[in-house]
Amino acid sequence: MIPSLGRASTFQLKNGVAIKGGYAGFGHPDPNARNTNMYRTTLSGDLNGDDILNSGPDGLEFTNYGDNCYHVVLAATVDATAVLDGVTITAGNASDLSYPDWRFCGGGMFCDNASPTLIDCRFFYNSALYGGGGLYNSQGNPKLTNCTFYVNHAPSHPNWGSGNGAGMFNDTGNSVLTKCTFANNRSTGTPGNSDGHGGGLFCYVRTMEDIDKGPTLIECLTYRHGGHSRADPAHYRTKVEVDEWLKKDPVSSFKNLLFETRVLTADQDMELERSVLAEIEEAVEYAKASPFPRPETALEDIYA
């Protein structure tokens, strides 16, 4: 990044260069130890270090973002050998309506006719006036694996209309997203006019000839950790297999994400678990006390 460029400062990806985060670094027994969950590497657009996140009626409100970078990361005409792996991209603010500089989209990252490789990247707390608060892909083919888009914003503008694709805006490109998570992203509509479009992901094609150019979302199935019932000890699976899948459990992973982003505290988590268990116990007791259903209702609400 070149700070002298002011808000136009950006981390620019290059072909043949892989940027990897998540290393322990200087001061640790093994500086080369890598754990992207334990050791965070952050690329930030907060040039003055004064950003504030406040809770508002519509979610988090970004304060002091007016002097932040237009694009924290820029990928321009690069190929798959330009790699970004294990980093957090935050505090981008694409709020300038100048064209063709595209300073109104892609606050976290702007992908311009490029096909970079993004692995285990986190797009947190970015904003873009037109769309793509976290990432804007313009006619490129990026590949994203294990990436998270969390609390990004696409605000509305009186002349431009509603915000689009707060998490990601795919503009006539063949993006491939595998095991990616979108949560709490917000596109804002204009007052009395329209709602925001695609809080998590918004897809757009420029011409009918481009109708087949769009993102590929790869479904990733989770795993049943136990047997089918108490009568099924699940001896047909090894402990090694089960333990390996438990490491990738989406419920645990999402809870850890809430802890890391300070959305959820340990006390709140314990209280939530207590309330859920109490609700389950209440439902069990209600079921036990209820009479058996009439035989003639056995086929009601069955559609297959």
The tens digit of pLDDT for each residue in 73-83 reads 999 999 999 99
Give the DSSP letter of residue 34. Answer: B
Q: Please tell me whether residues 196 and 268 are part of one structural domain.
A: no
Look at residues 218, 251, 275 and tell me which one is the last residue of a structural domain.
218
pLDDT of residue 3: 55
pLDDT of residue 209: 62
Q: Please tell me whether residues 173 and 64 are part of one structural domain.
A: yes
Residue 93 pLDDT level (bands cut at 50, 70, 90): very high
pLDDT of residue 199: 85
Q: Tell me how many domains the chain contains.
A: 2
Q: Is residue 90 part of a domain?
A: yes
Q: Please tell me whether residues 271 and 207 are part of one structural domain.
A: no
Q: Please tell me whether residues 98 and 16 are part of one structural domain.
A: yes
pLDDT of residue 220: 63
Asked whether residue 150 carries a pLDDT value surpassing 80, the answer given is yes
Q: Is residue 229 part of a domain?
A: no
Asked whether residue 287 carries a pLDDT value surpassing 70, the answer given is yes
Q: Is residue 143 part of a domain?
A: yes
Asked whether residue 270 carries a pLDDT value surpassing 80, the answer given is yes
Asked whether residue 152 carries a pLDDT value surpassing 90, the answer given is yes
Look at residues 189, 218, 247 and tell me which one is the last residue of a structural domain.
218
Rounded-to-integer distance, Cα 187 and Cα 201, Å: 10
Q: Please tell me whether residues 214 and 243 are part of one structural domain.
A: no
Q: Is residue 299 part of a domain?
A: no
pLDDT of residue 157: 73
Q: Is residue 275 part of a domain?
A: yes
Strands (E), 130-200: 135-138, 143-145, 148-150, 153-154, 168-171, 176-178, 181-183, 186-187
Q: Please tell me whether residues 197 and 283 are part of one structural domain.
A: no
Q: Is residue 302 part of a domain?
A: no
Rounded-to-integer distance, Cα 80 and Cα 15, Å: 8
Q: Please tell me whether residues 200 and 256 are part of one structural domain.
A: no
Asked whether residue 227 carries a pLDDT value surpassing 90, the answer given is no
Q: Please tell me whether residues 245 and 213 are part of one structural domain.
A: no
Query: 92 is in which domain, residue-wise?
Result: 3-218
Strands (E), 33-158: 42-44, 52-56, 59-63, 73-76, 83-85, 88-90, 93-94, 109-112, 117-119, 122-124, 127-128, 135-138, 143-145, 148-150, 153-154
Q: Highest mean pLDDT range out of 36-50, 58-72, 218-232?
A: 36-50
Q: Please tell me whether residues 30 and 159 are part of one structural domain.
A: yes
Asked whether residue 175 carries a pLDDT value surpassing 80, the answer given is yes
Over range 198-221, report the average pLDDT.
Answer: 71
Q: Is residue 231 part of a domain?
A: no
Q: What CA–CA distances, in Å, run from 269 to 117, 148, 158, 260, 273?
A: 35, 21, 40, 13, 6
Q: Please tell me whether residues 40 and 173 are part of one structural domain.
A: yes
Q: Highest mean pLDDT range out of 146-160, 181-195, 210-224?
A: 146-160
Q: Please tell me whether residues 131 and 195 are part of one structural domain.
A: yes
Percentage of the residues of the chain whose pLDDT score is greater than 70:
87
Rounded-to-integer distance, Cα 12 and Cα 45, Å: 13
Over range 44-57, report the average pLDDT.
Answer: 82
Q: Is residue 230 part of a domain?
A: no
Q: Please tell me whether residues 57 and 140 are part of one structural domain.
A: yes
Q: What is the pLDDT of residues 187-206, one digit of tens each?
A: 887 665 556 778 889 988 76
Asked whether residue 207 carries a pLDDT value surpassing 60, the answer given is no
pLDDT of residue 172: 83
Cis peptide bond N-terminal to 233, omega within 30: no
